């Protein structure tokens, strides 16, 4: 881990800035290569993530890993984090105040990783990072540039698990990502 990421992690571990700190089992800070070309951002930890302290390790995470493998990428080469670092009880959406209090950790992670591309998984992360008015069902897979960084919303793998007919569309987003990374080389 880069020393500045380690410093941030140690600071974040003690965070009690919102109510979610009271019910978490583990903080889910983020994982992967902190020098990655691409950073994936989800919404917040679920039950498995809260238990293990790692993002995207439950059923949705396993589907995410398979799609990544489908474009010859591995999770250890990318960086993965969430909008909120602690699990919202019963997997409810994070509240506006929770997102506001937590987002600075993510912005600092982005500063440290300096990815060429940011991929937001699902509506909530896309709305915070890319565009508040995003319509994920029609906007997923569309690339935009903010400053020096390419941004792309993707369907959330949990949504694909709920509706498997979305799989080809979801995988196509990974193909768009792979092609963009190739083009940027």
- Give me the residues that bind ligand URA (CB under 6 A), please: 42-46, 49, 55-56, 58, 60-61, 82, 121, 158
DSSP 149: E
Nearer to ligand URA, 46 or 115 (CB): 46
Q: Rounded to the nearest whole angstrom, what is the least distance from the CB of residue 124 to ligand URA in the complex?
A: 8
Report the distance separating Cα 97 and Cα 60, nearest Å.
25
Q: Rounded to the nearest whole angstrom, what is the least distance from the CB of residue 165 to ligand URA in the complex?
A: 20
Q: Rounded to the nearest whole angstrom, what is the least distance from the CB of residue 63 to ligand URA in the complex?
A: 10
Nearer to ligand URA, 143 or 161 (CB): 161
C-alpha to C-alpha distances, 122 to 82, 128, 139, nearest whole angstrom: 11, 11, 10
Report the distance separating Cα 157 and Cα 159, nearest Å.
5
Nearer to ligand URA, 119 or 179 (CB): 119
Q: Rounded to the nearest whole angstrom, what is the least distance from the CB of residue 125 to ligand URA in the complex?
A: 7
Nearer to ligand URA, 29 or 150 (CB): 29
Q: Are 173 and 140 in contact (CB under 8 A)?
A: yes
Report the distance separating Cα 174 and Cα 70, nearest Å.
8
Nearer to ligand URA, 8 or 126 (CB): 126
Find the residue with minimal CB distance to ligand URA.
Answer: 42
C-alpha to C-alpha distances, 22 to 50, 54, 58, nearest whole angstrom: 13, 18, 22
Report the distance separating Cα 79 and Cα 97, nearest Å.
25
Q: Rounded to the nearest whole angstrom, what is the least distance from the CB of residue 148 to ligand URA in the complex?
A: 25
With a CB cutoff of 8 Å and minimum separation 6, the contacts of 163 are: none
């Amino acid at each position: 881990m880069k020393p500045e990421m380690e410093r941030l992690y140690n600071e974040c571990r003690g965070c009690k800035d919102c109510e979610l700190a009271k019910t978490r089992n583990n903080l889910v800070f983020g994982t992967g290569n902190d020098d990655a070309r691409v950073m994936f951002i989800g919404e917040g930890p679920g039950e498995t993530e809260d238990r293990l302290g790692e993002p995207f390790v439950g059923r949705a995470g396993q589907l995410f890993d398979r799609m990544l493998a489908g474009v010859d990428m591995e999770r250890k080469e990318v960086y993965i984090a969430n909008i909120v670092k602690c699990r919202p009880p019963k997997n409810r959406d994070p509240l506006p105040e929770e997102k506001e209090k937590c987002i600075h950790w993510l912005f600092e992670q982005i500063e440290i990783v300096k990815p060429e591309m940011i991929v937001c998984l699902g509506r909530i992360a896309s709305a915070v990072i890319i565009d508040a008015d995003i319509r994920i069902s029609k906007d997923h897979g569309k690339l935009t540039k903010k400053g020096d960084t390419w941004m792309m919303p993707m369907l959330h793998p949990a949504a694909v698990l709920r509706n498997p007919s979305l799989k080809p569309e979801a995988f196509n987003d990974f193909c768009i990502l792979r092609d963009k990374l190739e083009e940027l080389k």
